[in-house]
Structure 1
Amino acid sequence: MDGNLPLLTVIIVVYNGAASIENTIQSTLHLNYENRKIIIIDGGSSDGTTDIIKKYQQQIYYWISEPDKGIYDAMNKGWAQADHDSYIIFLGSGDKILQLPDLSKNIDHNIIYGSVWIGEKLFNSVTDFRLKLGNTVHHQALLIKKSIHPQPPFSLDYPVYADFDFNQRLYKSGIPFIKDKSFYSYALEGGVSAVKNKKESLRVVKKNFGKLYSLLASIYYFLQDARNIK
């Protein structure tokens, strides 16, 4: 491993992902980045997922297979196993990092984000005022230094939008989100990111920014839906 590069921890969460987990593991192993660790948290799969993981266990820093309370419980478990000084990124089964930023040039930045292909659609993440209204950053292209939040960060009160809640809390903290135009990932369609739960999203906004922003967010969602109908 190149000790001059910041440590990168790739946390892969999976449940019954035998059809896609190998692609994610292989693409992570083939990253052009030597100073990395791979953590896999499996939710007690019964479809052969663990047999695939075992094929690569010599190249995996840590993995476990046990029942959990959902994707964010699994992500919290992975976070707890990561080194304090590492950059953390989360992938689901079928996701992959297409191109990493040059971390040797970003070492002073605590949060780095890029863009995500979801199927054939490119999602350009933004961290302006819109992050107060909706989840405008996907975790597949979000690198966070564990040192800024040592404890597992995801609230299980939000089964769909715990990542949105964490993103908003980071935004409120004033820590800069640094956009790197060279940073791209791919997210498999149909994951938790595809689930829409407006009531939960509005609860997150209200908790973090108050009733006014919750009202603005409901208008924002209505306008988005109206635009998509056209």
Structure 2
Amino acid sequence: MFINIVTPTFDTYLDLLDTANSIIEIKKVRQDLSICWIIIDNMSTDHTQDILHTDKYKKIVDIMVVEQDNGIYDAMNKGLNLCRNGHVLFLGVGDKIIQLPKEIDHDTVYYGTTIVDNSRYYKSTIHNYIFNKFNTLHHQSMLTPIKFHSKFSLEYSTCSDYAHNLEMLITGRRFQFDENLLAYHKPGGRSSNLDQVKEECKTIQKKFLDMIKSEL
């Protein structure tokens, strides 16, 4: 089974090393999986690109693209374009993958648990998903088959992954919670702007509810 891990980055070298160390560990533990780590770097001016020249890390970076992007979702789309078959998981800089499912089906979207601050555990859920105020599926602990993954819309700056998740649910993709899928999310970043997240989620919910109504 092939697992693609995509990490967009910009001037966050030290946080990137935390993510890299988790990739080292997961590759060591899950030698039954082919894990490809893809870094999309937005022309960083710190030491980010030096990761390719560091003995400890250069062997685990399978693909690194260094070019200007138009935001986080544009970078994630660039990563998608480079993914091979199998599943994809998105880790931000500073995020860590801790565990992956023991068994992975080609046609299933897996979601698990995300740790924040080493104390708060967020168990992803799709119960009444479309009516929730916020995205309840966390990309750090979500494995999606490449064949189900369309491009992220650049219309949204914080919640395009929410729109994509709703699209997969509405089109009948199979979702499954897996207790072995565990990740760590570094606090902060774009999702910390709760007012903006809330407004984008409302816009996305209305769009998809209108879409459902039009098909009834």
Range class of TM-score, shorter chain: 0.7 to 0.9
Q: Which amino acid aligns with 2:108?
A: N
30, 33, 37: which one aligns with 1:33: 30
Is the 2:73–2:157 contact (alpha carbons within 8 Å) kept by the matching residues of 1?
A: yes
2:68 counterpart of 1:70: no
The unaligned stretches of length 5 or more in structure 2 are none
How far is 1:212 from its partner? 11
Q: Where does residue 181 of structure 2 map in the other structure?
A: 183
Q: Which amino acid aligns with 1:169?
A: E
CA distance in 2 between partners of 1:97 and 1:58 (Å): 18
Q: Which amino acid aligns with 1:71?
A: I
SS of 2:14's partner is coil
166, 170, 173: which one aligns with 1:172: 170
SS of 1:68's partner is coil
Closer, same or farther: CA 64–212 of 1 in aligned 2, 3 Å: closer
Q: How many residues align?
A: 203
Is the 2:140–2:183 contact (alpha carbons within 8 Å) kept by the matching residues of 1?
A: yes
SS of 2:162's partner is helix
How far is 1:130 from its partner? 2.9
Is the 2:86–2:106 contact (alpha carbons within 8 Å) kept by the matching residues of 1?
A: no
SS of 1:111's partner is strand
How far is 1:211 from its partner? 9.6
How far is 1:59 from its partner? 2.9
Once the two structures are superposed, residues 75-129 of structure 1 have per-residue CA deviations (whole angstroms, 9 ceiling, x without a partner) of 000011001x211000011000111111xx3324420010101212111110121
Where in structure 1 do 4 or more consecutive aligned residues deviate above 6 Å? Answer: none
Q: Which amino acid aligns with 1:20?
A: D
2:128 counterpart of 1:129: yes
2:154 counterpart of 1:156: yes
Closer, same or farther: CA 168–211 of 1 in aligned 2, 3 Å: closer
Q: Within 5 Å, which residues of 2 pair with 1:200-219?
A: 200-210=200-210
Is the 1:22–1:53 contact (alpha carbons within 8 Å) kept by the matching residues of 2?
A: no
2:61 counterpart of 1:60: yes
Closer, same or farther: CA 64–108 of 1 in aligned 2, 3 Å: closer
SS of 2:169's partner is helix
Is the 1:110–1:148 contact (alpha carbons within 8 Å) kept by the matching residues of 2?
A: no
CA distance in 1 between partners of 2:20 and 2:63 (Å): 13
Is the 1:41–1:77 contact (alpha carbons within 8 Å) kept by the matching residues of 2?
A: yes
Give the share of equivalent positions with the same residue, in percent: 30
Is the 2:130–2:205 contact (alpha carbons within 8 Å) kept by the matching residues of 1?
A: no
SS of 1:206's partner is helix
SS of 1:193's partner is helix
CA distance in 1 between partners of 2:124 and 2:193 (Å): 18
Q: Which amino acid aligns with 1:14?
A: T
Q: Where does residue 44 of structure 1 map in the other structure?
A: 43
CA distance in 2 between partners of 1:86 and 1:57 (Å): 23
* Structure-1-length-normalised TM-score: 0.82
Instruction: Tell me the C-alpha RMSD between the 2 structures.
Output: 1.9
The unaligned stretches of length 5 or more in structure 1 are 1-5, 214-230
CA distance in 2 between partners of 1:211 and 1:146 (Å): 24
Q: Where does residue 90 of structure 2 map in the other structure?
A: 90
Q: Which amino acid aligns with 1:95?
A: D
* Structure-2-length-normalised TM-score: 0.87
CA distance in 2 between partners of 1:130 and 1:107 (Å): 23
CA distance in 2 between partners of 1:37 and 1:19 (Å): 21
Q: Which amino acid aligns with 2:2?
A: L
How far is 1:176 from its partner? 1.7
